C-alpha cells in the first residue's frame, strides 16, 4: 500500500533532528507570530469600528491615516508643527 506524501510529517521528522536551540526558537517564534498577527488584526478591527461608529460628520479625514499609524505625528491636527 502506497502512502501519500505529507508535508507536515516530513517537517515534523526533520524538526526532531534539529538542535535543541533551533527547536526552542521555533517553539517561541510560531506562537509569538500568531499572537502578533492576532493583535494587529484586532487593533485594525477596533479602529474600523471606531471610525464607523463616529460617523462621517465627526471624522477628520485630513491626516487620519497618518495619525492612525503615528499618534504623535505633527500632522495630527491637519497642520504641521513648526
Cα 18 to the chain's mean position, in Å?
Answer: 28
* 28, part of any domain: yes
Whether 76 contacts 63, CB under 8 Å: yes
Whether 73 contacts 66, CB under 8 Å: yes
Residue range 36-64, pLDDT digits in tens: 999 999 999 998 888 888 765 544 555 55
Whether 51 contacts 59, CB under 8 Å: yes
* 5, part of any domain: no
* 3, part of any domain: no
- Domain extent at residue 30: 19-82
Whether 67 contacts 47, CB under 8 Å: no
* 34, part of any domain: yes
How many CA atoms lie less than 13 Å away from 41 in the CB half-sphere? 6
* 7, part of any domain: no
pTM strictly above 0.85: no
Amino acid at each position: 500500500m502506497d502512502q501519500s506524501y505529507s508535508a507536515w510529517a516530513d517537517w515534523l521528522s526533520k524538526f526532531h533532528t534539529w538542535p535543541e536551540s533551533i527547536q526552542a526558537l521555533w517553539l517561541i517564534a510560531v506562537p509569538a507570530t500568531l499572537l502578533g498577527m492576532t493583535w494587529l488584526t484586532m487593533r485594525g478591527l477596533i479602529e474600523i469600528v471606531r471610525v464607523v461608529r463616529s460617523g462621517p460628520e465627526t471624522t477628520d479625514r485630513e491626516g487620519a491615516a497618518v495619525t492612525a499609524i503615528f499618534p504623535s505625528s505633527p500632522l495630527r491636527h491637519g497642520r504641521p508643527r513648526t
